[in-house]
Amino acid sequence: MWEFRSITFWRAVFAEFFATLIFVFFGLGSSFRWTPGPLNVLQVALAFGLAFATLVQSVGHISGAHLNPAVTFAFLIGSQISIFRALFYVAAQLLGAVTGAAILYGVTPSTFRGNMALNTLRPGVSLGQGTTVEVFLTLQYVLCVFATTDERRTGRLGSAALAIGFSITLGHLFGMYYTGAGMNPARSFAPAALTRNFINHWVYWVGPLIGATIGGVVYDFILFPRMRGLSERLAILKGNYPVTSKRPQEIQVDPIELKT
């Protein structure tokens, strides 16, 4: 229960809530059609990517800037955060996403709200095809997150925040033609909750969670394995310090600060 009593933990939870709110507000807002004609895919892709890159740079050192239940789940599978922290992160992300979508809904004229349910399967795309696309979209994104935030890497060049933002942009440039590019259950849940439209909504949970799991496992256990024993992994999942660590040093299990 040390996390529950830690002010840094509650700052991290609030950061996840606040940053997800901003991400959904700007991302979904960019998808509204203010003029007749087809949706500008490049505009939406850049808006989501730039918003995420900005927020990673802003709160990455506070919470790790997950802003996505699938990312949090991947870190949990890799024993990089505790179950307790993961549950609070996901709750904060969902609440932040709904709040951001609700604010956007309130400030947007009713005639332009029709595209808020951005995550819908495109005509001709089956449930299986949509789920598979979401798997691959989230896989490449989580792989990028794990690789760019890995504290074991040396000699990194460039910006982790921009790399992750570009990964989001890439996913939207491809995925919007198939599923609307969910990649994030929280950002898909928010407009679905506001519009009360949960048709095929499970695709936007199952696909990203599977993709995130594969991406995290491939990186953490195959490409660049973390040499941790079972006891150490269980200790982290329980929110305890590894037996070789000293309890007062909270920073050892706090989220990794992103370096640019």
CATH of the domain at 65: 1.20.1080.10
The Cα 31–Cα 119 span in angstroms is 11
Note whether residue 129 is domain-resident: yes
pLDDT above 70: percentage of residues in the chain: 90
For every residue of 141-190, DSSP letters joined together read HHHHHHHHT-TT--S--S-HHHHHHHHHHHHHHHHTTTT-----HHHHHH
Q: pLDDT digits over 200-216, tens only?
A: 999 999 999 999 999 99
Residue carrying structure tokens 């696309």: 133
In a domain, 259, yes or no: no
In a domain, 130, yes or no: yes
Q: Tell me the mean pLDDT in the region 222-247.
A: 74
- The mean-pLDDT minimum among 6-10, 43-47, 48-52, 254-258 falls in 254-258
Q: What is the number of domains present in the chain?
A: 1
| Rounded Cα–Cα distance for residues 105 and 28 (Å) | 10
Residue 31 lies in a domain: yes
Closest CA to 24 of 200, 163, 190: 190
Question: What are the angstrom distances between the C-alpha of 146 and each of 17, 46, 85, 97?
Answer: 21, 21, 18, 23
Contacts of 57 by beta carbon, 8 Å cutoff, 6+ apart:
159, 161, 258, 260
Residue 242: how many other CB atoms lie within 10 Å: 16
Residue 161 lies in a domain: yes
For the record, the structure tokens of 211 come out as: 């993709």
Asked whether residue 258 carries a pLDDT value surpassing 60, the answer given is: no
pLDDT at 114: 65
Structure confidence at residue 217 (pLDDT): 95
Instruction: Look at residue 249 in the predicted model and tell me its pLDDT.
Output: 37
pLDDT for the residue numbered 112: 76
Do residues 16 and 184 make contact, with C-beta atoms less than 8 angstroms apart? no
Q: Is 160 in contact with 149 (CB distance < 8 Å)? A: yes
Q: Is residue 250 one of the residues assigned to a domain?
A: no
- Whether 20 has a pLDDT exceeding 60, the answer reads yes
pLDDT in tens, 135-191: 999 999 999 999 999 988 877 668 899 999 999 999 999 999 999 999 999 999 999
- Kindly indicate the confidence band of residue 31, based on its pLDDT and cuts at 50, 70 and 90: confident
Mean pLDDT, residues 13-19 taken together = 98
Q: What is the pLDDT of residue 156?
A: 62
Helices (H), the chain: 7-29, 41-63, 69-77, 83-107, 127-148, 160-175, 185-195, 203-217, 230-238
Q: Is the pTM of this model over 0.85?
A: yes
Q: What is d(CA 70, CA 142) in angstroms, rounded to the nearest whole number?
A: 8
Inside any domain, residue 59: yes
Higher pLDDT, 157 or 92: 92
User: For position 222, what pLDDT does the model report?
Assistant: 94
User: Which tops the pLDDT comparison, 114 or 218?
Assistant: 218
pLDDT at residue 256 is higher than 60: no
What token pair was written down for 25?
């507000």
> Domain for residue 202, yes or no?
yes
Structural domain boundaries, residue 231:
7-245
